């Protein structure tokens, strides 16, 4: 399908479903059924099987027509991580059940991966899933779970075989967050809010129909999710002077009294690095259009974290004493936001929030290992527990 044909299809859809007079939910479900949700997904799953690069054009056409969106900021994990994982690894029944309400924003998702003793070494996770009849019983604890307090479903990795090496005894599940035994507790951050949580799983029963992939093949499926996560965080499309860079450039223009040669030099260096990252992101998205996300997404996420932290720190210096003001409401008052906001609110919030960028989506230390080994082909780090049964590894 050519871009012109796709434009005609969008125009015909809008003529049949005028945004001003069509109820929001009905509009979104109709758009999904027409294949105009994820246009690069297969037909029957919200797409038309066309090039991924045509998605921004479609989004622009709907936005220009005043069409309702699916509130993507509230379901970033679902749209950026869960959906491509389901498409790549789930059964047809699972895709039919979950993809449409996910895209329409009716079911919010979170990610139950990291644990108190298995963050950087995710494969060392200890949450257990034990077979029981036609399902599984799960016990364990997860941590750093963004949006769990708003989530309807979660993707979960759990240990199903402790007698094999850690990477081989993991299985991937889908979890109903409203099921008995699922407990969500807030974790308050340096910003004063709790956008993420710790989640306790106590005798949670999961039907085998909610298993994604084969038993013991969860590490492969989880890596697909993680690759998509790093691209979603670090490889997103941004205009020139977009994101954190645009905010810092605006501060520079608004505070000429703070101009010094040293600050100007730092701003220009970061400006160049941000432009390099932006163009690299464009190349990465072009690669995604013809295949699956690979380890190169780790480099983009690594760069995103470093630039965000350096730019947000520079922003405070440019603003001078004005940069030290934290908004009066809510300030450090505890609250539970509906979505993650990397660049919103005031400069102090952005500076504090950016500290988490080098942890979420894979720590910068682990991402450097991935880039070194899988992108640059350097010798691997020594791994003494690679061929040892998980139950025999000291913890």
First-to-final CA distance of the chain: 54
Q: Left, alpha or beta for 243 (phi > 0: left; psi -120 to 50: alpha)?
A: left
Specify whether the CB–CB gap between 104 and 75 falls below 8 A.
no
Strands (DSSP E) found in the chain: 109-112, 128-132, 135-146, 153-159, 170-176, 182-187, 196-207, 211-212
Find, among 373, 255, 227, 246, the residue nearest to 307 by Cα.
246
Number of helices and strands (H, E) in the chain? Answer: 12, 8
Rounded to an integer, what distance in angstroms lies between the CA atom of residue 289 and that of residue 27? 27
* Paired tokens of 224: 């697909």
Rounded to an integer, what distance in angstroms lies between the CA atom of residue 85 and that of residue 324? 42
Per annotation, catalytic residue among 229, 254, 273, 381: 229
Q: 329 an active-site residue?
A: no
Q: What is the dihedral of CA 166, 167, 169, 175, to 10 degrees?
A: 110
Rounded to an integer, what distance in angstroms lies between the CA atom of residue 303 and that of residue 306? 5
Rounded to an integer, what distance in angstroms lies between the CA atom of residue 86 and that of residue 297? 19
Q: For the purposes of burial, counting CB atoms within 10 Å of the CB of 64, is it exposed (0-12), middle (13-18) or buried (19 or more)?
A: exposed
* Residues classed as catalytic: 229
């Amino acid at each position: 399908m050519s871009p012109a044909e796709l434009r005609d299809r969008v125009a015909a859809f809008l003529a049949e479903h005028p945004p001003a007079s069509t109820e929001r939910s009905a509009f979104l479900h109709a758009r999904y059924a027409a294949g105009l949700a994820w246009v690069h997904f297969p037909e029957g799953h919200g797409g038309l099987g066309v090039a991924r690069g045509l998605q921004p054009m479609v989004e622009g056409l709907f936005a220009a027509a005043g069409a309702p969106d699916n509130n993507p900021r509230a379901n970033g994990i679902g749209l950026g991580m869960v959906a491509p994982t389901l498409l790549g690894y789930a059964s047809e029944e699972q895709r039919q059940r979950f993809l449409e309400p996910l895209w329409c924003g009716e079911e919010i998702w979170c990610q139950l991966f990291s644990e108190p003793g298995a963050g950087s070494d995710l494969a060392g996770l200890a949450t257990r899933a034990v077979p029981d009849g036609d399902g599984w019983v799960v016990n364990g604890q997860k941590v750093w779970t963004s949006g769990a307090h708003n989530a309807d479903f979660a993707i979960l990795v759990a240990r199903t075989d402790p007698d094999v090496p850690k990477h081989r005894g993991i299985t991937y599940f889908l979890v109903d967050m409203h099921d008995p035994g699922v407990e969500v507790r807030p974790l308050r951050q340096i910003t004063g809010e709790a956008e993420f949580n710790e989640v306790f799983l106590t005798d949670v029963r999961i039907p085998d129909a909610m298993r994604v992939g084969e038993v013991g093949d969860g590490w492969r499926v989880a890596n697909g999710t993680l690759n998509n996560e790093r691209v979603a965080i670090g490889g997103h499309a941004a205009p020139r002077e977009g994101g954190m860079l645009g905010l810092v450039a605006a501060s520079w223009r608004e505070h000429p009294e703070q101009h010094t040669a040293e600050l100007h030099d730092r701003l220009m260096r970061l400006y160049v690095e941000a432009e390099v990252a932006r163009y690299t992101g464009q190349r990465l998205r072009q690669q995604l259009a013809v295949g699956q996300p690979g380890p190169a997404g780790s480099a983009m996420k690594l760069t995103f974290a470093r630039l965000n932290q350096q730019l947000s720190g520079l922003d405070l210096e440019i603003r001078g004493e004005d940069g030290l003001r934290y908004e009066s409401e809510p300030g450090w008052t505890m609250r539970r936001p509906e979505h993650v906001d990397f660049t919103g609110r005031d400069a102090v919030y952005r500076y504090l929030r950016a500290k988490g960028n080098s942890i979420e989506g894979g720590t910068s230390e682990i991402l450097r290992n991935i880039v070194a080994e899988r992108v640059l082909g350097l010798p691997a780090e020594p791994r003494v527990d690679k061929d040892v049964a998980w139950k025999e590894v000291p913890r």
